[in-house]
Amino acid sequence: MPPSEHELRLRERLSRLKSLPLLGGAKLSGELERLQRQLERIAAEPTDEEIWRSVQLARHEQRPYTLDYAERLLDDWFELHGDRGLADDGAMVIGLGKLGGRTVTLVGQQKGRDIQERTRRQFGMPYPEGYRKAIRAFELAERLRTPVVSLVDTPGAYPGVAAEQHGQGGAIARSQAAMARLTVPTVACVIGEGGSGGAVAIALADRVLMQENAIYSVISPEGCAAILWRDAGQAQKAAAAFKPDARHCLELGVIDGIVPEPEGGAHTDHDEAARLLGESLREALDELDGVPGEELRRRRRARFRSLGVYA
Amino acid sequence: MPPSEHELRLRERLSRLKSLPLLGGAKLSGELERLQRQLERIAAEPTDEEIWRSVQLARHEQRPYTLDYAERLLDDWFELHGDRGLADDGAMVIGLGKLGGRTVTLVGQQKGRDIQERTRRQFGMPYPEGYRKAIRAFELAERLRTPVVSLVDTPGAYPGVAAEQHGQGGAIARSQAAMARLTVPTVACVIGEGGSGGAVAIALADRVLMQENAIYSVISPEGCAAILWRDAGQAQKAAAAFKPDARHCLELGVIDGIVPEPEGGAHTDHDEAARLLGESLREALDELDGVPGEELRRRRRARFRSLGVYA
Amino acid sequence: MAKIDVSIETNDLPAPPPKHPNTCPSCHSHYRDDELERSLWVCGHCGHHFAMRARDRIACLADPGSFVEEAADLHSEDPLGFFDLRPYTERLAEAEMSTGLADAIVIGQATLDGRQTELAVMDFAFMGGSMGSVVGEKLSRACDSAAERGVPLIAVTSSGGARMQEGILSLMQLPKTVCAVEDLHDAGQAMIVVMTHPTTAGVLASFASLGDVLLAEPGALIAFTGPRVVQQTTREKLPDDFGLAEQNLRFGHLDAIVPRPELRPTLSRLLRLLDAPQ
Amino acid sequence: MAKIDVSIETNDLPAPPPKHPNTCPSCHSHYRDDELERSLWVCGHCGHHFAMRARDRIACLADPGSFVEEAADLHSEDPLGFFDLRPYTERLAEAEMSTGLADAIVIGQATLDGRQTELAVMDFAFMGGSMGSVVGEKLSRACDSAAERGVPLIAVTSSGGARMQEGILSLMQLPKTVCAVEDLHDAGQAMIVVMTHPTTAGVLASFASLGDVLLAEPGALIAFTGPRVVQQTTREKLPDDFGLAEQNLRFGHLDAIVPRPELRPTLSRLLRLLDAPQ
Ligand SMILES: [Zn+2]
Ligand SMILES: [Zn+2]
């Protein structure tokens, strides 16, 4: 496979950095190192086994969740609650906090750690109420002029009778529309499972990142296998076919960058995973600093409108 | 009582019109006649009996309701449904139609004519879902750049367990806020009972009118009597004290004009009542024509922010 | 429960085909082709709305001779080299052969009772109306065409969801079409959506729900997650009209259910309303 | 049913006063004045939050000596010449005598942990915290003061609803305060609302619900229509926590319930968040 555009951009940036006198000191040399690492990762096409390992790590029971990151990354973290209509959906977390001195509005799906919390949070699958809660947070961010940080981690939107009656499809559509209207900087990162419409509902951002072992997909491997191979057991084969891993998403232009995880995966060291995530989020926000709101919105829409392959 | 400011303005306008050569022909002479009639009505302070008669006529079972006016006044009337979240509240009607060639978005409370319809429409008392339906209509009007016509006719917002759980207070507040943000022309008319928060929720308009026998009040006469006189039977006395009739509302600057009804009240002739209402609505919209949206909004807020009497 | 994907309903749809496509699945009345065409593919006996092909729909809505197709030659690529039981390219070729369409949507300019509009009509016969890159791109171009020409967009949907053979790119058609509709709205133009059976998953969770006016055909399944997956996942007892247009109307998600014979006059009325001088 | 007014809860509130204002209505513990003051008027035994006067609240929230009152001399007029069992003017005079306040709200500038803010604090002791022209005007001026100074507004609510003695003008305080908050928001400033017992009817249905962050004290009644009227009107069986802050949080209407001792640090944290350079 020829080097992707992204890889070419990275290589160019890398050589530019290398030829600069290292006045920036630590920051710049950190940047160098980071790019080098990222490049090495991208250079190699992941094998089917590596893809499947990502699927497993993305779902790992000890993987850090949105609130684990909020507590570690955000000073003065203050969780907000409720959709102002019907419920406070535990599968969707919103709140305010300071990321490196800058107040941001956080939106993220939230799984549970033990069985009780999992039930309360519907295994990270939001109801329409959850997406309305997210919309409220987007509108708050616009009013307060804070950037939005969105952490994606859901198997999908909740599939139930009440969820359908309360308008699951419309809520997901309107959550995306709310993001498409924002004039504040927005960064999304898939930190675990990016499952279909329920995930993209909060990922229509200026910068979309994925953690190294996160997955982002139109359907779960099991669902895909059940439909196309008529056998949910063929999940590994399905995953290899539709390639939900970060490197392929980057290749396809769906995401803008990969956030490194600690060796062995984010679950092995929550603090280090948070540190690495925080670095990437701050860097992404720094890049968006100073861009006028209308221009941010125009570019954001143009970015998503460019996605797709046809002839 | 000295002549009110409104009366003075009317008198001035009347004398100006009288001194004009009648080039405008029918329209102008109709205008003259209308002002003359309005002046006569205002000139006389209504008696306690007249106030009570308004209370009775405002609640008359044969009084025309929102849909009676929609069908008579709006060409191509098309009713829209639903709050896009939970329900389609029958006590709140929204839709599109043409008023004299101009597409408007209609929002109005709706009572029922027979017992079955009354139950279905909760006697014209909206749930929070009804106010969210209205908010959706306001947002649609803003998007389509159509003026809003709002017809107020409710004893009040629905007082029930589910209504509270679904956020009645917040829904009423946000409906007003949605109107306060609009940059399209808005006209509200109280066509029957303008009952408290449930009424004002859809009446934060550039022009607020009342039909001659409509009432607009912070509490029903019965409720007021029960609280202050500890006897709901003192309703007539309460009404005389807090003066919910159109003339007093005009006097206090709460409304901008009184829409005449057929002799004997709107219920005696729905077609004529609709004709008179349509004339006033069109006139109000004509006055707002050409005012830039931001300026409309600024004036609208300034108008409501000026209401109140203090020293 | 957390491991079951819920957003794609392709497997559920369509319902097992009746013995013959002209046999009403509801009352089993049988019709000749010309009978069905004359009745707008509505069962004269029970009112069942048969699926309607995109070109037939356009012929019913556009003034005769007024339709000018746009982007007719856009074809899907195969970005993932996707291969399940058969290669995606083979499935595409077969769908094109059997439907005469390049993909699951047809867009273009038209007039309806003399009023200019833009049409975007999906076709379930092309791979279950699934939304891949071409559907997303053509819907977006329809938005742009409507915006440039200053006319409303009428979108007729029929879709089982995203086209999973295009992997994550099919999911990206959700935000893509959402952005296109927002651009249309910012240009001051309206979108009327007509949801026909079935309108599910990714299409419902993106542009279809963002119409300024949302209409549906009677009996259409309109659900993010279809009944079979809901049942399998939650073991809940489903209401009789679960996910149908009628339930959606009751719960506030639709503006009106419009039987097919009334659709054209209804759209004509809405175009008059949207056309009026402000 | 249609004839029962539902929007004013003054009649329901406050609950019949206990034998002595310093006796906890919940667990009947009794406290000396200085004990209550030291515990921020929270029952040390059961956690019941006693009503708190506006000046005490301000003393608890504002940095010592920082509060500069605004519009202190605004007084209600009697636009209707209202007379029920007694003239409105007499009720006003009596309320002013007994509370030392000109009306049911106190507004002004203050700092909290050194951060500039605007405070608007209602006082239930003044005619049940009812909102008439003065409350509406002062709340609006607080919005303007916050906007002009570029600082957030903290509003502490406690109200039985609109002041019906001012008739329709009291109702007009709803849209009036809504417009004021919208102006504040357009000026880029935030409002934090602290709902205390009770926050009902007109105040809940206007500015109080429009806070960017909505906090409440434990056990506060927060309802548009209070339990007595709901019960009388609908004959429904009411849930145990009907209308309480706890129910409101569960149903998505509040951001957090904050016990009184944590209120100041919570507000301080929020001011830090709202203060940050963008
Ligand atoms: Zn049939
Ligand atoms: Zn106690």
Rounded CA gap, D67 and C273, in Å?
Answer: 56
Residue B165: CB atoms within 10 Å: 21
Structural domain includes residue C122: yes
Q: Would you say C91 and C126 are in contact if contact means Cβ atoms under 8 Å apart?
A: no
pLDDT in tens, C247-263: 999 999 999 999 999 99
User: Both ends of chain C: CA-CA distance in Å?
Assistant: 52
Q: For B48-306, give the CATH class.
A: alpha beta
Nearest CA in chain B to D235: B160
Q: Is the pLDDT of residue C204 over 80?
A: yes
Cis peptide before C198 (omega within 30 of 0): yes
CA of D99 to the centre of ligand 2 (A): 25
Residue type, C137: E
pLDDT in tens, C111-151: 999 999 999 999 999 999 999 999 999 999 999 999 999 99
Q: Is the pLDDT of residue B233 over 90?
A: no
In which band, very low, low, confident or very high, does the pLDDT at C108 lie, cut at 50, 70 and 90? very high
Best residue in C5, C143, C231 to probe A by mutation, most A CBs within 10 Å? C5
Adjacent-strand bridge partners of C118: C109, C153
In the Cβ-directed half-sphere of D256, how many Cα atoms lie within 13 Å? 17
Best residue in A89, A93, A96, A136 to probe D by mutation, most D CBs within 10 Å? A96
Over residues B265-272, mean pLDDT:
97
Q: Is the pLDDT of residue D235 over 80?
A: yes
How many domains does chain C divide into? 1
Residue A282: CB atoms within 10 Å: 18
- How much is the pLDDT for D20? 86
Cis peptide before D14 (omega within 30 of 0): yes
Residue A132 sits at the chain B interface (C-beta within 8 Å): yes
Best residue in D273, D274, D275 to probe A by mutation, most A CBs within 10 Å? D273
Interface ipTM above 0.90: yes
DSSP output for A146-199? --EEEEEEES-S--SHHHHHTTHHHHHHHHHHHHHH--S-EEEEEEEEEEHHHH
| Structure token digits, residue B1 | 């009582």
- How much is the pLDDT for A11? 63
Instruction: Indicate yes or no: CB of A87 within 8 angstroms of CB of D250.
Output: yes
Residues of D in contact with A288 (CB under 8 A): none
Residues of B in contact with D247 (CB under 8 A): 165
From the centroid of its chain, how far is CA A275?
16
Give the contacts of D81 (CB within 8 A, at least 6 positions apart).
Answer: none
Nearest CA in chain D to B226: D11
Rounded CA gap, C1 and C7, in Å?
Answer: 14
Structural domain includes residue C95: yes
From the centroid of its chain, how far is CA A269?
19
Residue C89 sits at the chain A interface (C-beta within 8 Å): no
State the burial class of residue C54 (Cβ atoms within 10 Å of its Cβ: 0-12, 13-18, 19+): buried
Classify strands B257-259 and B207-211 as parallel, antiparallel or unpaired.
parallel
A120-129, A174-183, B3-12, D42-51: lowest mean pLDDT where?
B3-12
Nearest CA in chain C to A252: C169
Instruction: Indicate yes or no: CB of C168 within 8 angstroms of CB of A161.
Output: no
Q: Find the largest Cα–Cα distance for chain A.
A: 62
How big is the CA angle at D235 (ends D234 and D240), to the nearest 5 degrees?
105
Q: Is the pLDDT of residue C154 over 50?
A: yes
Nearest CA in chain D to B200: D175
CA of C39 to the centre of ligand 1 (A): 12
Residues of D in contact with A86 (CB under 8 A): 251-252
Instruction: Indicate yes or no: CB of C209 within 8 angstroms of CB of A170.
Output: yes
pLDDT in tens, C261-271: 999 999 999 99
Give the contacts of B153 (CB within 8 A, at least 6 positions apart).
Answer: B65, B66, B108, B109, B110, B111, B124, B190, B191, B192, B193, B194
Rounded CA gap, C188 and C174, in Å?
Answer: 21
In which band, very low, low, confident or very high, does the pLDDT at D3 lie, cut at 50, 70 and 90? very low
Domain ranges for chain B, please list them: 5-44, 48-306
Instruction: Indicate yes or no: CB of D251 within 8 angstroms of CB of A88.
Output: yes
To the nearest whole angstrom, how far is the Cα of D1 from the nearest Cα of chain A?
Answer: 25
Residues of B in contact with A173 (CB under 8 A): none
- How much is the pLDDT for A152? 98
How many beta-carbon pairs below 8 A join chains B and D?
245
Q: Is the pLDDT of residue B38 over 70?
A: no
Q: Pick the closest to residue B48 from B228, B248, B217 (CA basis).
A: B248
Helices and strands of chain C, counted as H and E runs: 10, 8
Nearest by CB to A180, from C1, C5, C182: name it: C182
Nearest by CB to A81, from D188, D256, D278: name it: D256
pLDDT in tens, C47-68: 999 999 999 999 999 999 999 9
Hey, which bits of C42-145 come out as E strands? Answer: 68-70, 105-112, 115-122
Residues of B in contact with C185 (CB under 8 A): 143
Q: Is the pLDDT of residue B164 over 60?
A: yes
* CATH code assigned at C155: 3.90.226.10
State the burial class of residue B1 (Cβ atoms within 10 Å of its Cβ: 0-12, 13-18, 19+): exposed
In which band, very low, low, confident or very high, does the pLDDT at B271 lie, cut at 50, 70 and 90? very high
| Structure token digits, residue A302 | 């143009």
CA of C21 to the centre of ligand 1 (A): 12
Q: What percent of chain B has pLDDT over 70?
A: 86
Ligand in closest contact with the CA of C45: 1
Rounded CA gap, B194 and B154, in Å?
Answer: 6
- Determine the structural domain holding residue C73 and report its residue range: 52-275
Adjacent-strand bridge partners of A57: none
Nearest by CB to B226, from D11, D200, D225: name it: D11
In which band, very low, low, confident or very high, does the pLDDT at C12 lie, cut at 50, 70 and 90? very low
How many beta-carbon pairs below 8 A join chains A and B?
26
Rounded CA gap, B179 and B195, in Å?
Answer: 18
State the burial class of residue C32 (Cβ atoms within 10 Å of its Cβ: 0-12, 13-18, 19+): exposed
Q: Which chains lie within 8 Å of chain D at 3 or more CB pairs, if any?
A: A, B
Nearest CA in chain A to B165: A86
Residues 62-81, chain C, touching A (beta carbon < 8 A): 74-77, 79-80
From the centroid of its chain, how far is CA D173?
14
Give the contacts of C33 (CB within 8 A, at least 6 positions apart).
Answer: C22
Q: Is the pLDDT of residue C9 over 50?
A: no
Touch between C and D (at least 3 CB pairs under 8 Å): no
Structural domain includes residue D14: no
Ligand in closest contact with the CA of C28: 1
To the nearest whole angstrom, how far is the Cα of C246 from the nearest Cα of chain B?
Answer: 12
In which band, very low, low, confident or very high, does the pLDDT at B42 lie, cut at 50, 70 and 90? low
Residue A130 sits at the chain B interface (C-beta within 8 Å): no
Ligand in closest contact with the CA of D29: 2
To the nearest whole angstrom, how far is the Cα of D273 from the nearest Cα of chain B?
Answer: 24
Ligand in closest contact with the CA of C39: 1
Residues of chain A scoring pLDDT < 50: 1, 20-27
Q: Is the pLDDT of residue D73 over 80?
A: yes
Residues 160-189, chain B, touching A (beta carbon < 8 A): 165-167, 170-171, 174
Rounded CA gap, B234 and D143, in Å?
Answer: 39
Ligand in closest contact with the CA of D39: 2
CA of C24 to the centre of ligand 1 (A): 5
State the burial class of residue B291 (Cβ atoms within 10 Å of its Cβ: 0-12, 13-18, 19+): middle
Residues 86-125, chain B, touching A (beta carbon < 8 A): 86
Q: Is the pLDDT of residue B20 over 50?
A: no
Instruction: Indicate yes or no: CB of C277 within 8 angstroms of CB of B80.
Output: no
Nearest CA in chain B to D77: B310
CA of C242 to the centre of ligand 1 (A): 20
Classify strands D115-122 and D105-112 as parallel, antiparallel or unpaired.
antiparallel
Nearest CA in chain B to D247: B165
To the nearest whole angstrom, how far is the Cα of A1 from the nearest Cα of chain D?
Answer: 43
Over residues B61-80, mean pLDDT:
98
